[in-house]
């Protein structure tokens, strides 16, 4: 089947780490996944080729290569460890208290 798989890997449990950063003064607990497996090799073991995308390479070329792969394929995107996702609503807060961006 021509299924395309996208894995975004920041080597952390992203949303949990973000909460610990924003609300618990970066006191990280059990969120570091520095020993993640090699997702490309796992896919290859199942006959699914993959492309590793990171900032040190030609990202547009890597995306074109991934999309041109026939059949199933995976794209593993490495992103900065402390990249956050916005907007977010803090626990117990109203939608009107949504955080739209990181405070500088």
Q: Is the pLDDT of residue 68 over 90?
A: yes
Q: Is the pLDDT of residue 86 over 80?
A: yes
Q: Is the pLDDT of residue 56 over 80?
A: no
Q: Which backbone phi and psi does 53 adopt, to 5 degrees?
A: -110, 130
Q: Is the pLDDT of residue 69 over 80?
A: yes
Residue 103 tokens read as: 């405070």
Cis peptide, bond prior to residue 87, ω within 30 of zero: yes
Q: Is the pLDDT of residue 104 over 80?
A: no
**How many CB atoms sit inside 10 A of residue 54's CB?**
12
CA dihedral 44, 47, 52, 57 (to 10 degrees): 110
pLDDT of res. 66? 93
Report residue 39's pLDDT band, with 50, 70 and 90 as the boundaries: very high
| β-pair partners for 41 | none
Report residue 85's pLDDT band, with 50, 70 and 90 as the boundaries: confident
Helix (H, G, I), strand (E, B) or coil at 17: helix
Residue 25 DSSP code: T
Domains and CATH numbers, the chain: 4-97 (3.40.50.970)
Which of 90, 84, 86 is closest to 100 using CA atoms? 86
pTM: 0.74
């Amino acid at each position: 089947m021509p299924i395309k798989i996208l894995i975004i890997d920041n080597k952390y449990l992203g949303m949990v780490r973000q909460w610990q950063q924003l609300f618990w003064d970066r006191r990280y607990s059990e969120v570091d996944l520095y020993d993640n497996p090699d997702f490309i090799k796992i896919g290859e073991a199942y006959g699914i080729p993959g492309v590793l995308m990171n900032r040190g390479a030609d990202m547009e070329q890597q995306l074109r290569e991934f999309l041109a792969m026939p059949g199933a394929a995976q794209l593993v995107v490495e992103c900065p460890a402390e990249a956050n996702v916005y907007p977010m609503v803090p626990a117990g807060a109203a939608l009107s208290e949504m955080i739209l961006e990181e405070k500088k």
